[in-house]
């Protein structure tokens, strides 16, 4: 366009005739709109595999995928319909050539010597990129693994467990003592605890389980340098009570874990079998092996034994002497302990049963139970111990079953280490210890680790599908497998920046990071398509000026036109990169609820956009030039792709 202006007028400003202006706009739109349209389609299609995610990750990222897909579909339509019309309305008046723009001049002045140096030292340039890519792969493999980034809910859930046979009065005392201790920490705003189950059929918590919600003050009011983990460690040290095993989590994630996996901690080892005593023995053995592994906290075996039961065995010889039957004795026991329904009261639309049983003083200890009076026909009242043996026996406080098998569980949380490596080390240690379980017994890992394995299996299927979809879309954009591959190789180099950014910010690999990489692939290809369009445009100008054969085109001609195609349209390429960065970078400094999940998504996109842009600006022209030199040397001419609908 600059050469056209100078050829027509020789001036920096020129008012273009209306017919010429419309022709220029039409030609420019035909040249760019196809690539921009297909780059938008690629961004859409590369994100479609996110819809294949299931479970918690699917529920979390499906709204993001729907929102982005609908926006990009509308954007793709506007690129080829509304955008050209708006250009005809707004691009009027006197026009300046690109060289008149100071920003463009500065960019070209910096970029052109760099691209010439890269072309001159082509082997070194390619080697540096390959080395950087080779370093990023082990860097990624060295990162920790987790299912999802931990979401800071702004509160804590303290879930200690005491002995199964704890009394109501004792657990109430423990609860009050714990609440007073927790309130002494300056960062704690409010404390509310409960013991046992709530008034709902879905809560099966025993009286030995305490749940205390701790609301924290805003982080600005915390002591300098203290973190949430520091608060948990301080509280945990203060709350060391004999007979009580502490557990720490957050209210929302705890409910999600319990509903989805049946495990109230991050990880659980489920032991299935036929006998409760054998299951408990295996669970205790597993606990001993897991102790001392770095990252495992709040290790606890769900009690299978230890519950206290009152056994009343009726003496049949004695009841026959007193003229009693088994039903007579059982009726007294039922009335005294369980209560007997007398009547039903109706209050409006509500009905309540009225029960009667002995007072607390007559049934609160074993001696009182033995003295319960059983009325006889001929001998008057006799104590219960005269016609029955009343003893206390141990048994399971709660029987858990799953898949029609009895189940015991070893529970633990993971803190100060990533989930993946912690469980991997634990599994290796258990596999070395337990070579073979008895017939009918087996182990199963559950909790967040169960979700991690499922999501990794899904992502291993998704990522190849993403790359295939991108390649097919680029093939339709260029009608050339070679050009599609040329743009596709920007994706591995986009991985470099994403890997380094994740490593610098010390973020573990998770589903959120994988979604960020999936989004990055589409962004990286978009800039590459714009570059390839302008490089092909430069080849069209070369062929139009000198012809298309090895006799008229030299290597110097190819080099100069590739540099011109890369440098003379530098501003739209930089603008494409900057638009993405300006939208993403502010998230890196965001705070508050939700930023913990957003940052792992954004980090690979920011780093990948930077390295992919560098690769596209410096390496893509070099590879394009080498491909054209090969075509000219082998076929005697170069392949020229025309940008048209």
Binning the chain into helix, strand and coil, the percentages to the nearest 5 are 60, 15, 25
Q: Is the same domain home to 512 and 468?
A: yes
Say what the pLDDT of residue 182 is.
Answer: 92
Query: Is residue 195 assigned to a domain?
Result: yes
Show which of 330, 350, 378 is a domain's final residue: 378
Helix axes 419-433, 448-478, angle to 10 degrees: 120
Q: Is the same domain home to 28 and 108?
A: yes
Contacts of 378 (CB under 8 A, 6+ apart): 322, 323
Q: Is the same domain home to 130 and 190?
A: no
Query: Is residue 200 assigned to a domain?
Result: yes
Contacts of 297 (CB under 8 A, 6+ apart): 248, 412, 413, 414, 415, 416
Q: Is the same domain home to 608 and 583?
A: yes
Query: CATH code at 223?
Result: 3.30.70.1430
- How many whole angstroms separate alpha carbon 163 and alpha carbon 193? 18
pTM for the predicted model, two decimal places: 0.75
Say what the pLDDT of residue 13 is.
Answer: 52
Say what the pLDDT of residue 181 is.
Answer: 92
Say what the pLDDT of residue 279 is.
Answer: 87
Contacts of 27 (CB under 8 A, 6+ apart): none
What phi and psi, each to the nearest 5 degrees, are found at residue 16?
A: -80, 140
Query: CATH code at 361?
Result: 3.30.2090.10
- How many whole angstroms separate alpha carbon 578 and alpha carbon 70? 23
Query: CATH code at 615?
Result: 1.20.1640.10
Contacts of 462 (CB under 8 A, 6+ apart): 49, 50, 52, 53, 518
Which two tokens mark 226?
């203290």
What phi and psi, each to the nearest 5 degrees, are found at residue 216?
A: -95, 155
Q: How far is residue 386 from each of residues 335, 365, 390, measured CA to CA in Å?
A: 18, 17, 10
Where do we find the tokens 């054209």?
A: 628
Q: Is the same domain home to 240 and 368?
A: no
Domain of residue 29: give its range: 18-83+101-148+453-635
- How many whole angstroms separate alpha carbon 564 and alpha carbon 562? 5
Contact present, 148 and 511 (Cβ < 8 Å): yes
Which two tokens mark 329?
């004795």
Residue length, the chain?
Answer: 645
Q: Is the same domain home to 122 and 168?
A: no
Query: Is residue 345 assigned to a domain?
Result: yes
Say what the pLDDT of residue 214 is.
Answer: 92
Query: Is residue 330 assigned to a domain?
Result: yes
Q: Is the same domain home to 470 and 559?
A: yes
Helix axes 122-141, 102-120, angle to 10 degrees: 90
Query: Is residue 1 assigned to a domain?
Result: no
Q: How far is residue 608 from each of residues 344, 499, 501, 521, 580, measured CA to CA in Å?
A: 71, 8, 8, 9, 11
Say what the pLDDT of residue 14 is.
Answer: 55
Q: Is the same domain home to 628 and 526?
A: yes
Query: Is residue 263 assigned to a domain?
Result: no
Q: Is the same domain home to 138 and 212?
A: no
Q: Is the same domain home to 223 and 353?
A: no
In this structure, what DSSP letter does residue 131 have? H
Chain-centroid distance, C-alpha 151? 10
Q: Is the same domain home to 189 and 137?
A: no
Show which of 249, 281, 302 is a domain's final residue: 249
Helix (H, G, I), strand (E, B) or coil at 35: helix
- How many whole angstroms separate alpha carbon 384 and alpha carbon 310? 13
Helix (H, G, I), strand (E, B) or coil at 296: strand
DSSP string, 3-25: HHHHHHTSSS-EE--HHHHHHHH
Show which of 333, 357, 378 is a domain's final residue: 378
Q: How far is residue 570 from each of residues 4, 408, 465, 535, 555, measured CA to CA in Å?
A: 19, 65, 32, 11, 23
Which two tokens mark 312?
């009343």
Q: Which residues of 490-518 are buried (b: 16+ CB within 10 A; e: fewer)?
A: bbbbbbbbbbbbbbeeebbbbbbbbbbbb
Going from the first residue of the chain to its last (645 residues), give the mean pLDDT of each consecutive group of 10, the final group possibly shorter: 42 64 78 70 77 81 85 80 81 70 78 86 87 84 84 86 83 90 91 81 76 89 88 90 87 81 83 87 88 87 81 88 87 83 87 83 78 84 88 82 86 86 88 77 85 83 80 77 76 81 86 84 76 81 81 82 79 77 80 77 86 83 85 79 50
**Half-sphere CA count of 79, side-chain side, radius 13 A:** 19
Query: Is residue 523 assigned to a domain?
Result: yes
- How many whole angstroms separate alpha carbon 260 and alpha carbon 332? 44
Could you tell me which of 326, 325, 282 has the C-alpha nearest to residue 302? 282
Taking the CB of residue 564, how many other CB atoms lie within 10 A of it? 17
Q: Is the same domain home to 143 and 161?
A: no
- How many whole angstroms separate alpha carbon 425 and alpha carbon 437? 20
Q: How many domains does the chain have?
A: 3
Contact present, 164 and 178 (Cβ < 8 Å): no
Query: Is residue 184 assigned to a domain?
Result: yes
């Amino acid at each position: 366009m600059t050469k056209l202006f100078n050829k027509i007028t020789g001036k920096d400003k020129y008012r273009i005739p209306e017919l010429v202006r419309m022709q220029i706009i039409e030609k420019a739109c035909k040249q760019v709109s196809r690539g921009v349209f297909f780059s938008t389609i690629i961004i859409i299609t590369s994100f479609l595999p996110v819809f294949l995610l299931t479970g918690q990750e699917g529920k979390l990222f499906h709204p993001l995928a729907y929102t982005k897909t609908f926006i990009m579909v509308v954007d793709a339509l506007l690129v080829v319909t509304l955008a050209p019309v708006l250009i005809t309305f707004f691009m009027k008046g006197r026009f300046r050539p690109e060289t008149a723009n100071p920003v463009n001049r500065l960019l070209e002045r910096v970029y052109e010597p760099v691209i010439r140096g890269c072309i001159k030292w082509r082997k070194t340039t390619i080697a540096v990129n390959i080395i950087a890519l080779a370093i990023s792969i082990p860097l990624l493999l060295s990162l920790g693994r987790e299912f999802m980034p931990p979401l800071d809910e702004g509160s804590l859930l303290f879930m200690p467990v005491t002995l199964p046979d704890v009394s109501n009065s004792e657990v109430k005392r423990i609860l009050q003592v714990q609440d007073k201790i927790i309130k002494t920490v300056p960062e704690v705003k409010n404390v509310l605890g409960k013991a046992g189950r709530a008034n709902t059929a879905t809560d099966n918590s025993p009286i030995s389980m305490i749940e205390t919600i701790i609301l924290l003050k805003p982080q600005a009011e915390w002591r300098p340098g203290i973190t949430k983990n520091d608060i948990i460690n301080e509280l945990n040290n203060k709350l060391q009570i004999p007979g009580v095993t502490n557990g720490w989590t957050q209210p929302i994630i705890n409910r999600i874990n319990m509903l989805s996996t049946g495990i109230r901690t991050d990880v659980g080892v489920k032991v299935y079998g036929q006998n409760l005593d054998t299951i408990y023995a295996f669970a205790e053995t597993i606990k001993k092996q897991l102790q001392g592994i770095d990252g495992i906290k709040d290790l606890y075996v769900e009690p299978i034994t230890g519950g206290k039961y009152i056994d009343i065995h009726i003496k049949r010889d004695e009841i026959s002497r007193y003229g009693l039957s088994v039903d007579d004795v059982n009726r007294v026991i039922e009335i005294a302990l369980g209560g007997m329904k007398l009547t039903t009261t109706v209050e409006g639309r509500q009905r309540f049963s009225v029960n009667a049983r002995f007072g607390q003083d007559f049934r609160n200890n074993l001696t009182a139970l033995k003295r319960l009076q059983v009325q006889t026909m001929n001998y008057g009242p006799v104590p219960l111990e005269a016609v029955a043996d009343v003893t206390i026996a141990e048994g399971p406080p709660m029987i858990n079953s799953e898949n029609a098998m009895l189940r015991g569980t070893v529970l633990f949380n993971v803190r100060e280490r990533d989930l993946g490596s912690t469980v991997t080390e634990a599994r290796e240690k258990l596999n070395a210890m337990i070579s073979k379980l008895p017939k009918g017994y087996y182990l199963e890992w559950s909790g967040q680790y169960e979700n991690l394995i499922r999501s990794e299996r899904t992502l291993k299927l998704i990522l190849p599908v993403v790359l295939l979809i991108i390649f097919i879309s680029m093939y339709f954009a260029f009608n050339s497998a070679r050009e599609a591959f040329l743009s596709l190789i920007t994706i591995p180099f986009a991985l470099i920046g994403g890997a380094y950014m994740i490593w610098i910010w010390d973020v573990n690999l998770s589903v959120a990071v994988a979604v960020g990489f999936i989004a990055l692939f589409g962004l990286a290809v978009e800039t590459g398509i714009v570059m390839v369009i302008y490089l092909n445009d430069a080849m069209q100008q070369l062929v139009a000026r000198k012809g298309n054969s090895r006799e008229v085109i030299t290597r110097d001609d190819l080099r100069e036109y590739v540099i011109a195609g890369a440098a003379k349209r530098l501003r739209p390429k930089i603008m494409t990169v900057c638009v993405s960065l300006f939208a993403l970078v502010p998230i890196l400094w965001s705070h508050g609820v939700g930023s913990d999940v957003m940052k792992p998504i954004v980090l690979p996109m920011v780093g990948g956009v930077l390295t992919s842009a560098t690769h596209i600006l410096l390496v893509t022209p070099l590879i394009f030039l080498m491909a054209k030199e090969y075509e000219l040397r082998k076929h005697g001419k170069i392949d020229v792709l025309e940008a048209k609908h």
